């Protein structure tokens, strides 16, 4: 599929990489704390400022607020979460040196930028995995087209069936692209004709476009592919 010129002009999404594993005393500063993020098979220790910017890359704080209550759908401010959006929010909140911190995180492999479609999106999808970190709670007779993710008795986020399927198969897929292929191959095998569910590139655009909804709710995290 050729790159869409209008899509190519859009600013790429900014995405956090790694799995947060906890806060620990700083061995070099008895009064300080370090924030450990597992990146592949390594632990990266972040200072508080670096961790704060890394967390900000998970999505607009409004997304997390919505998703942490009753099951929610949609995006907090309605705009893609990009470097510009994240830095504008950080500036409004008085976060100092956010741009420099973001560059440091990118240099450490803890933050990447990715478009939602085209060749670069596929390259990203082949390099990273989406790892589920909450439970799939299924759907309901009242809303059969929406699927919940969260903890037992506490839905955290709602997604459409295609995104739910990609999310739940991503734990065994080699990478994000492989998860999209697993989903679309299954849909074609079951006679589905809607291209959004049978074309892996369209499925990839959907999962990347809603990634921050999953990330900000704690429903998944991104990690390096093996």
Q: What is the pLDDT of residues 180-224, one digit of tens each?
A: 999 999 999 998 888 788 999 999 999 999 999 999 999 999 999
pLDDT of residue 131: 98
Give the residue among 131, 107, 125, 104 at the shortest CA–CA distance from 40: 131
Q: What is the pLDDT of residue 63?
A: 60
The span from the CA of 17 to the CA of 221, in Å, is: 7
Taking the model in full, what pTM does it have? 0.87
| 3-state DSSP assignment of residue 41 | coil
Crossing angle of the two packed helices 200-209 and 161-169, in degrees rounded to 10: 90
pLDDT, residue 2, reads: 41
- Check residue 79 and give its pLDDT: 81
Residue that wins the pLDDT comparison between 187 and 226: 187
Mean predicted confidence (pLDDT) in 131-159: 95
CA nearest to 101, candidates 138, 145, 49, 175: 49
| Residue 73 confidence class, pLDDT cut points 50, 70, 90 | very low
């Amino acid at each position: 599929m050729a790159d869409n010129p209008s899509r190519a002009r859009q600013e790429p999404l900014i995405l956090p990489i790694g799995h947060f594993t906890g806060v620990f005393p700083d061995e070099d500063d008895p009064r300080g704390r370090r924030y450990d993020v597992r990146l592949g098979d390594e632990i990266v220790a972040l200072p508080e400022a670096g961790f704060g910017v890394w967390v900000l890359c998970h999505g607009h704080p409004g997304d997390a607020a919505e998703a942490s209550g009753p099951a929610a759908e949609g995006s907090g401010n309605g705009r893609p979460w990009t470097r510009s959006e994240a830095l504008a929010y950080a500036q409004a909140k008085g976060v100092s040196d956010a741009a420099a911190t973001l560059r440091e995180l990118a240099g450490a492999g803890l933050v990447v930028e990715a478009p939602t479609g085209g060749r670069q999106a596929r390259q990203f999808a082949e390099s990273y995995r989406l790892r589920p970190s909450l439970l799939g709670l299924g759907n309901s007779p009242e809303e059969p087209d929406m699927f919940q993710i969260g903890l037992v008795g506490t839905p955290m986020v709602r997604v459409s069936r295609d995104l739910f399927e990609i999310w739940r198969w991503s734990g065994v897929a080699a990478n994000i692209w492989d998860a999209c292929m697993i989903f679309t191959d299954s849909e074609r095998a079951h006679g589905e004709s809607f291209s959004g569910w049978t074309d892996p590139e369209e499925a990839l655009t959907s999962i990347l476009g809603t990634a921050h909804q999953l990330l900000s709710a704690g429903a998944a995290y991104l990690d390096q592919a093996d």
